[in-house]
Amino acid sequence: MASSALQAFLDKLQQLESAFEAAVEEVEDPEELESIRVTYLSRRGSLVQCLSQLKDLPDEDRPEAGKTANRIKQRLQDRFARIQEELQQKRDRARRQDFDPTLPGRSPRTGTLHPVTLVSDEICSIFRSLGYEVVLGPEVETDFYNFEALNIPQDHPARDMQDTLYLSDSIVLRTHTSPLQIRTMQEQSPPLAAVAPGKVYRRDADLTHSPMFNQIEGFLVDRRVSMADLRGTLAHFLRRIFSRDIQVRFRPSFFPFTEPSAEVDISCVICSGKGFSQDGSPCRVCKQTGFVEILGCGMIDPEVFKAVDYDPEEYSGFAFGLGVERVAMLKHGIDDLRLFFDNDLPFLDQFRFYPAT
């Protein structure tokens, strides 16, 4: 028969175990379990407190009390470890369910080529397919290449400070890509055919002009090159870059580096040459004329040949120059030049799947 002190001690242990059982029964997450551990099993928890009362028991009760206490302590610890393990497994299972390996991965956001670059590349590739090479030159240019050798006289308005960005008396930011005619002809002898894409600069900024824009210069030199070659080449090119059924029209014009010179119009790609939009309103792009200007061209002036030591009696050639932004606007129906410089991602993203050449 246990002494009443022993009985009281054993009852206390029993109560502690029941309370612990009731608490872990309900436990849902590791944080709750941790607070149960602190309450019952930590160094200041109720189990340690209870065990500290062992020493107050009469000597003859201590062995049994100690044995029972150790058994209960072991049971509580085992139970705790099991529950901890179960919670961990539950958590792992939930994580596995959240993870769907069949979902597509998140691909990194990549940039795209700018529409002006795409159109410039496309134009160059059309000319490459005709046997032209692509040549590049400096954007900081001398007066000689930008003006002098191209037969642009001293008093020509293009040389005015109003139009040209001068870096010094004789150094400019090139105002066109025509200097590449001179640079290429200096380096090579005929026959030659090249296109020269690049940035050009002018003192000009309003809704329809940007101080920097892109041009492509094209030129071909050989024996007996005629205006008919120029016309055939440009008509072919324009039909490839726009559409097969556009009309091409040559108008007499003037450029210092070509003689004769012409400006080329194509039937308006926005209203299909009708002069009116689908809703019957006048076409804003061609201003009801049915045609839009697209490039300047002509037969290379003998004066230009003289500047590069070509014999104008032996050789002839043609040249043309066009604005890439303008071609891109007409080709893609873009009505605001500023869109090319705003870096507006939704605008630029529309060209993501435009075939690069």
> Closer to ligand DAH at the Cβ: 124 or 319?
319
Tell me, by CB under 6 A, how many residues bind ligand DAH.
11
Nearer to ligand DAH, 175 or 267 (CB): 175
**Nearest Cα to Cα of residue 142 among 99, 174, 117, 120:** 174
Specify the residue, 69 or 196, whose C-beta has the smaller distance to ligand DAH: 196
User: CB-wise, 178 or 214, nearer to ligand DAH?
Assistant: 178
Nearest-approach distance from CB 345 to ligand DAH, in angstroms: 31
DSSP 276-334: B-TTSSBPTTTTTSSEEEEEEEEEEPHHHHHHTT--TTT-EEEEEEEEHHHHHHHHHT-
In the bound complex, what is the minimum distance in angstroms from residue 242's beta carbon to ligand DAH? 19
Distance in Å, CB of 319 to ligand DAH, minimum: 3
Write the interaction track for ligand DAH spanning residues 169-208; mark x where CB under 6 A is met and - where it is not. Answer: -------x-x------------------------------
Cβ at position 281, least distance to ligand DAH in Å: 31
Among 184, 214, 233, 258, binds ligand DAH (CB under 6 A): 258
> From residue 353, how far is each of 118, 121, 269, 333, 348 by CA, in Å?
11, 15, 22, 17, 11
326 with 294: CB under 8 angstroms?
yes
Nearest in space to 324 (alpha carbons), one of 252, 241, 246, 230? 241
Q: Of 213, 255, 315, 340, which lies in the binding site for ligand DAH, with binding defined by CB under 6 A? A: 255
Q: Which residues contact 105 (CB under 8 A, 6 or more apart)?
A: none
Is the Cβ of residue 76 or residue 193 nearer to ligand DAH in the bound state? 193
Q: Which of residues 282-321 bind ligand DAH (CB under 6 A)?
A: 296-298, 319-321
Shortest distance in whole angstroms from residue 179 CB to ligand DAH: 9
Q: Pick between residue 159 and residue 176 the one whose CB is nearest to ligand DAH.
A: 176
Nearer to ligand DAH, 69 or 195 (CB): 195
User: Using CA atoms, how far apart are residues 27 and 25, in angstroms rounded to an integer?
Assistant: 6
* CA-wise closest residue to 51 among 30, 34, 32, 65: 65
User: How many whole angstroms separate alpha carbon 72 and alpha carbon 79?
Assistant: 10
Q: Which residue lies nearer to ligand DAH by CB, 76 or 292? A: 292
What's the closest the beta carbon of residue 133 comes to ligand DAH, in angstroms?
16
Phi, psi of 222 (to 5 degrees): -165, -175
Pairing of strands 171-173, 258-267: unpaired
Shortest separation between residue 172's beta carbon and ligand DAH, angstroms: 13
Of 76 and 150, which CB lies nearer to ligand DAH in the complex structure?
A: 150
Report whether 104 contacts 44 (CB < 8 A).
no
**Region for 12 from its dihedrals, namely left if φ exceeds 0, alpha if ψ lies in -120 to 50, beta otherwise:** alpha
Torsion sign, CA atoms 331, 335, 340, 343? negative
Q: Which residues contact 13 (CB under 8 A, 6 or more apart)?
A: 50, 68, 69, 72
CB of 204 to ligand DAH, least distance (A): 12
Under rule CB under 6 A, residue 143 binds ligand DAH: no
Q: Which of 217, 265, 301, 325 binds ligand DAH (CB under 6 A)?
A: 217
| Minimum distance of ligand DAH from residue 343's CB (angstroms) | 26
State the residues that interact with ligand DAH by CB under 6 A: 176, 178, 217, 255, 258, 296-298, 319-321
